[in-house]
């Protein structure tokens, strides 16, 4: 038998996609599956940016510059200025989705064996990117009781070692929807300066803030050399399949190293850069409609969840995700059971078990992530399925561990 790589064996399966075979099997039986497991919006991709690709006068689809088309990078300078971030086109590198931006950051700033601190629950693929870079993720736990607020600074201090090189944050957050306040971002700034750490900031959802103001890591004064911004157009313009992101930093030494990785993969997707460039020209009012729609979906989802017996869901401040605690024994088993053994009126719902978003073993066993990316009617139908499923699930556990009823009532009253 041929040898397989150790890193390949260590790569974790996606908690978002690993149940796809069960969903496909359910659909073959004629069961309708409501996909709340993945952040794939049903919002229409703006026709104007698709038209820009269709109308492009291209006779040879050439390689672009490894940093991306200069015209697009200059357009992004305008975009970032509108959100209060001052950078030059030479501080922006176009990537194949936000994923490549994260990989470039890890590979450019971290050595094998280094440690990176990430508040959990966190975007599951950070684990995979860490494996690719040979670095170790050190999780510190945020809690559903506080809506997944940033853990106290002493929790960071407890796990910092000589191998610690960076902190990763995502705000608004995937998978929790939590929106970090300026005070929380300033605390991260202080600890990064104190311990000379990089701050990797994943800002894929900045346009979708509902209960507070968006604060970028690049808004923090005195942190220019430390911040690596990872960005993407996937969720911003409902263009997940374009695979266009951006790696942004004012640290020239880091940028120059990242450029070597960019040159090794030659160039980012050519047609999608045309789409991304056209997106910058969309009017600012474009975001009003999708933001309003997501807000209505959030309010409906959280209200429906908190009305179910023994279910608790804090009110997310941004993005389009929520994590709910359910009266179940095992979220992995429950999410599979929903697809394999359950249907209500010939329908079921697909959720993401929260275990895959935690780095600490054992956490998330009674939590699921829900992406409110479907229309209101579909969310209502999906919640009907979930409510019925919880009544008949063999592994139901009555009561909400470690949550007082008063907390539940307080959160529900916010909707």
Residue 61 DSSP symbol: -
In angstroms, the CA 387 to CA 334 distance is 13
Distances 138 to 41, 123, 191, 238, 355 between C-alpha atoms, Å: 31, 14, 16, 32, 16
pTM above 0.95, yes or no: no
Sign, Cα dihedral of 292, 230, 370, 150: negative
Contact 247, 93 (CB under 8 A): yes
Architecture of domain 6-44+287-412: Alpha-Beta Complex (3.90)
As given in the structure block, the two tokens for residue 21 are 């075979």
Topology of domain 47-281 in CATH is 3.40.640
The residues pairing with 140 across neighbouring beta strands, listed in sequence order, are 119
In angstroms, the CA 236 to CA 97 distance is 12
Asked whether this chain's domains 6-44+287-412 and 47-281 adopt the same fold, the reply is no
What dihedral angle (degrees, nearest 10) is formed by the CA atoms of 10, 371, 217, 84?
140
pLDDT in tens, the chain (415 residues): 888 888 888 888 777 778 999 999 999 999 999 999 999 999 999 999 999 999 999 999 999 999 999 999 999 999 999 999 999 999 999 999 999 999 999 999 999 999 999 999 999 999 999 999 999 999 999 999 999 999 999 999 999 999 999 999 999 999 999 999 999 999 999 999 999 999 999 999 999 999 999 999 999 999 999 999 999 999 999 999 999 999 999 999 999 999 999 999 999 999 999 999 999 999 989 999 999 999 999 999 999 999 999 999 999 999 999 999 999 999 999 999 999 999 999 999 999 999 999 999 999 999 999 999 999 999 999 999 999 999 999 999 976 544 334 433 443 444 3
Q: Radius of gyration (Cα) for the chain, nearest Å?
A: 21
Domain ranges of the chain: 6-44+287-412, 47-281
């Amino acid at each position: 038998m041929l040898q397989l790589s150790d890193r390949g064996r260590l790569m974790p399966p996606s908690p978002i996609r690993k149940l796809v075979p069960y969903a496909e099997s359910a659909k073959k039986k004629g069961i309708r599956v409501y996909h709340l497991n993945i952040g794939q919006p049903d919002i229409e991709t703006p026709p104007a940016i698709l038209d820009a690709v269709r109308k492009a006068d291209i006779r040879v689809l050439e390689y672009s510059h490894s940093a991306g088309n200069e015209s697009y990078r200059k357009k992004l300078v305008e975009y970032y200025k509108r959100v209060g971030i001052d950078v030059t086109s030479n501080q922006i590198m176009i990537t194949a989705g936000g994923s490549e931006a994260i990989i470039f950051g890890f590979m450019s700033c971290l050595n094998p064996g280094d440690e990176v601190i990430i508040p959990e629950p966190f975007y599951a693929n950070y684990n995979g990117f860490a494996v690719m870079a040979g670095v170790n993720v050190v999780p510190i736990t945020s809690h559903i009781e506080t809506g997944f607020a940033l853990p106290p600074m002493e929790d960071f201090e407890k796990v910092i070692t000589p191998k610690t090189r960076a902190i990763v944050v995502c705000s608004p957050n995937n998978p929790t929807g939590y929106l970090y306040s300026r005070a929380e971002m300033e605390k991260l700034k202080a600890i990064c300066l104190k311990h000379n750490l990089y701050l990797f900031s994943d800002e894929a959802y900045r346009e979708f803030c509902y209960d507070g103001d968006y604060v970028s890591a690049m808004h923090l004064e005195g942190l220019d050399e430390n911040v690596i911004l990872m960005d993407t157009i996937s969720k911003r313009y409902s263009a997940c399949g374009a695979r266009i992101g951006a790696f942004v930093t004012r640290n020239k030494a880091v940028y120059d190293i990242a450029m070597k990785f960019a040159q090794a993969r030659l160039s980012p997707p050519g047609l999608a850069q045309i789409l991304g460039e056209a997106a910058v020209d969309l009017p600012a009012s474009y975001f009003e409609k999708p933001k309003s729609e997501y807000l209505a979906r959030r309010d409906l989802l959280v209200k429906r969840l908190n009305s179910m017996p023994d279910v608790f869901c804090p009110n997310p401040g941004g993005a389009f995700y929520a994590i709910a605690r359910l009266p179940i024994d095992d979220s992995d088993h429950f999410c599979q059971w929903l697809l394999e053994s359950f249907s209500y009126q010939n329908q079921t719902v697909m959720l993401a078990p929260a275990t895959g978003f935690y780095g600490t073993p054992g956490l998330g066993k009674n939590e699921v992530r829900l992406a409110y990316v479907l229309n209101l009617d579909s969310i209502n139908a999906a919640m009907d399925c979930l409510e019925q499923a919880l009544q008949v699930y063999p592994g139901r556990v009555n009561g909400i561990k470690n949550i007082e009823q008063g907390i539940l009532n307080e959160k529900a009253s916010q909707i």
